[in-house]
Amino acid sequence: MVLDEEASPSAPARPRRRRLAVALAGLAALVAVVAATGGLADVPDDTRPAYALGETFDNGLYRITVESVEITRDDPLTPNQGEDLSVVATVQLLYSGDEPAGRPEDWLRPLDLGADLLPRSLIAVRDGAVAPPVQPGLPLDVFYIWDLPEGSTAAAGDPVRLGIYERYLDAANPIDGGTTRPALVAVVEPS
């Protein structure tokens, strides 16, 4: 009995190749549809909720009320004026977790100033404590203070938009309980 060597081995491979080609084409079509509807794009700032000064952002875990924000040379804790400009925000924080809040300095950042700034200081208004713990259920009034980056064109009195950020648990992080980078979820607009 003579076997057709060319027909036998390739016969089972053809249906597998066709299935693979159909599956890849379907996956490519799905990615194209998701991309066409904007599913892979970042959410632009203008679609995030906007809050005015004095309004409260509440995500169920913490509440942030920005009372004021300004670019100034004034130090909020002393009557002295400094040489460099800073962004100073007066904010009330309220946390509803079971333990003191971690990383409240990540909750707010100035937008549109040319840098992804972390605050130089987070200071309690009541007693001047630096980086005070945000205890569950106790409102805490604080000053967030950010130094403007070198070369900034911002001037004293210019309006400042603040971004409100959240972190999420990151299952892919090798550190147990690791979180993602801060994600912008809302914007505080100056009045």
Does residue 105 contact residue 118 with C-beta atoms inside 8 Å?
Answer: yes
Q: Which residue has the higher pLDDT, 46 or 147?
A: 147
Q: Which residue has the higher pLDDT, 78 or 50?
A: 50
What percent of the chain is modeled with pLDDT above 70? 84
Bridge partners of 50, per DSSP, are: 187
Average pLDDT over residues 161-175: 82
- Mean predicted lDDT score pLDDT of the chain: 82
Q: What are phi and psi of 13, to 5 degrees?
A: -75, -30
What is the per-residue pLDDT for 182? 82
Q: Which residue has the higher pLDDT, 2 or 29?
A: 29
Q: Where are the beta strands (DSSP E) in the chain?
A: 50-52, 56-58, 62-74, 81-95, 108-110, 121-124, 140-147, 162-166, 183-189
Q: Residue length, the chain?
A: 191
Bridge partners of 65, per DSSP, are: 56, 92
Cα distance between residue 184 and residue 57, in whole Å: 13
pLDDT band at 186 (very low <50, low <70, confident <90, very high): very high
What is the per-residue pLDDT for 6? 53
Number of C-beta neighbours around residue 105 at 10 A: 17
Over the stretch 146-157, which tens digit does the pLDDT of each residue have? Answer: 988 778 888 998
Residue 5 has pLDDT above 70, yes or no: no
Radius of gyration of the chain (CA): 26
Cα distance between residue 109 and residue 187, in whole Å: 10
